[in-house]
Amino acid sequence: MLSSHELFGFMSPQLALRILEHAREHNKELYRAALAAVAEARKLRPAFFERRPRDARHAEMTAMLSRPRLELVAANLLREWLMKQETPMLADFLDKLAIVHKDGAVENLPATVEDANLQAAVDLLLSKYPAEEVSVYLNAFYTMNDVRWPNLETMLKQDPRLQFAG
């Protein structure tokens, strides 16, 4: 499955921009930390990097967030975006699987889920949300949780609806 930095590498520039803009508007501390990490990786002073035009800065940030050394930063940005902006998608998925949650956050995931239930939950998400966002969420869900469902891994590898456009 795709790690957070790999997700930034495969997602569309438009989605990456939305994720960065969400952090800039709703979690300035996270955005500044991401900006500083990218500036450091590029061997620039954060203040200098921050003065660049936003569209150029975000394009550079997206490119750098797709590198393994910025995995933690990429994961934090994705987690923030999913938990704050995409709560309805998370809730729909967990509700369909009958998993107790609070605004998409789960204390204890079951060790397994039935194939038919998982398929129904994924079908629901794909019927309501853009496929790229669903794919980002399901990949992040798989890699960011301690419990790994083999049937979800198989779906992420084999279902063409969950593949990123090349």
Say what the pLDDT of residue 62 is. Answer: 96
User: Which residues of the chain fall below pLDDT 50?
Assistant: none
* pLDDT for 1: 84
Q: Using alpha carbons only, what angle is made at residue 130 by residues 6 and 142, rounded to the nearest 5 degrees?
A: 40
Q: Where does residue 121 rank: exposed (0-12), middle (13-18), buried (19+ CB within 10 A)?
A: buried
> Which sign, positive or negative, has the C-alpha torsion 79, 84, 85, 86?
positive
Contacts of 151 (CB under 8 A, 6+ apart): 112, 113, 115, 118
The mean predicted confidence, pLDDT, of the chain is: 96
pLDDT of residue 41: 95
Q: Is 147 helix (H, G, I), strand (E, B) or coil?
A: coil
Residues in CB range of 82: below 8 A, 6 or more apart: 89, 90, 104, 136, 137, 140
What pLDDT is attached to residue 166? Answer: 62
pLDDT score recorded for residue 165 = 78
| pTM for the model | 0.94
Share above pLDDT 90 across residues of the chain, in percent, rounded to a whole number: 97
